[in-house]
Amino acid sequence: MTKLISACILNLLVVFSVIAQQPPPKPAKVCFGILLTRFTEVKSEEGKEKDTSKILYLQNSLKDSLFVYKIADGILSEATAYNLSGDSKGLYLRAKSILNGGGSIEPLKITFSDAKRTVLVNQDEYKLFPEFYAKIKQQVGIKHSIISLFNLLEDYLEDYSINDIYQVLLSDSRERWGKGIQQSKITTQRSQSDLKDTWNYRYQYNRSGKLELVKGTSAEETHFSKKMSYLNPGLIEMNIYRNTEDRQIISRKVTYNPLKLNLLKLTEHIEITGKDTEVITTTTISRKIIGKPMSLQMSQEEVIKLVDLNR
């Protein structure tokens, strides 16, 4: 009997030893989804047009990858994969079209300068306040949070080839529009020549530390301005002006309710210089949190099915 008990104990010890030597199971890959419904109405001299489209955001648990799917008329019309990762050459934001074998977009190199508290995006400089710099370096530089990078580049002062990203509906950051960027210097490429323009941006904050005004100028010319109005706890208004090489002037009014976190309204007046033409575009975007898909990269059939299940 004693021998039998000893044998059983020995077998149990062997089993526990084998279990202990096995590597822990890898955590399951978890994705998080947000579905936007975008209703657009365009008024021009040619008449009125209406359009409804869907935008599906899928983000991984590491937060370093984001897939964006655009669905129009029940068809997947665009699909872009964004990834923020580092290698021996530095930290890069890479974007690639994953629809019909599309190509890659020129990557953005992200560089941090502790001495100047500056974040470089390619050649563009964003000088930050100390606390915000430390936070961005931790979230973007170390954790590779792609949403934190998009929040920094919210106004897209340069054409960074980032499409269909609405940060206020993608990120639930409660610190949005706090005291972050101190000043920036942005270089833009002219579309019809080899010339480049450099713009100096200044950021003003109110007594509560909330962003009040962003203005970008070069000599006497204004390229961009954004005026923030905090009307009440349930409504924020932004009045944005953008002058694109004097050929197109965009005046945009944006209203957003941070308490609801699911509705954004934009009204744009677009003036085309030389043609005496004005186009008025009104866009209303609603948001819905969806279940946890099993994968970031999905086929057209899988995307359409997921969208249909979350109408």
Query: What is the tens place of the pLDDT at every residue in 19-67?
Result: 344 444 444 456 789 999 999 999 988 889 999 999 999 999 889 999 9
User: Does residue 3 register a pLDDT over 90?
Assistant: no
pLDDT at 174: 66
| Cβ atoms within 10 Å, residue 133 | 22
pLDDT at 237: 95
pLDDT at 246: 67
User: Does residue 111 register a pLDDT over 60?
Assistant: yes
pLDDT at 40: 96
Structure tokens at 112: 């941090």
What sign has the CA pseudo-torsion 153, 55, 170, 240?
A: positive
Half-sphere exposure of 269 (CA within 13 A, CB side): 6
Q: What percent of the chain has pLDDT over 90?
A: 53
CA atoms of 133 and 121, how far apart (whole Å) = 14
pLDDT at 230: 92
- Mean pLDDT of the 6-21 span: 43
User: Does residue 275 register a pLDDT over 70?
Assistant: no
DSSP string, 155-217: T-SS-----S--HHHH---TTTTSS-EEEEEEEEE-TTSS-EEEEEEEEEE-TTS-EEEEEEE
Q: What b/e sequence results for 230-265 when a residue is b if at least 16 CB atoms lie within 10 Å of its CB, and e otherwise?
A: eeeeeebebebbbbbeeeeebbbebbbbbeeeeebb
Mean pLDDT of the chain: 85
pLDDT at 161: 82
pLDDT at 148: 93
Residue 200 banded pLDDT, cuts 50, 70, 90: very high
Question: Element (H or E) spanning 111, and its range?
Answer: strand 104-113
User: Does residue 277 register a pLDDT over 80?
Assistant: no
User: Does residue 138 register a pLDDT over 70?
Assistant: yes
- Mean pLDDT of the 84-113 span: 88
- Mean pLDDT of the 227-255 span: 88
CA atoms of 161 and 159, how far apart (whole Å) = 6
DSSP string, 6-44: HHHHHHHHHHHHHHHHSPPPPPPP-EEEEEEEEEEEEEE
User: Does residue 7 register a pLDDT over 60?
Assistant: no
Place of tokens 């937060």: 63
pLDDT at 197: 85
User: Does residue 102 register a pLDDT over 80?
Assistant: no
User: Does residue 13 register a pLDDT over 50?
Assistant: no
Q: 291 or 283, which is more confident?
A: 283
pLDDT at 25: 41
Residue 274 banded pLDDT, cuts 50, 70, 90: low
CA atoms of 95 and 65, how far apart (whole Å) = 10
User: Does residue 4 register a pLDDT over 70?
Assistant: no
Q: Which residue, 149, 131, 163, is CA-closest to 63?
A: 149
Residue 119 banded pLDDT, cuts 50, 70, 90: very high
Task: Write the pLDDT tens digit of every residue in 68-78.
Answer: 999 999 899 99
- Mean pLDDT of the 82-95 span: 92
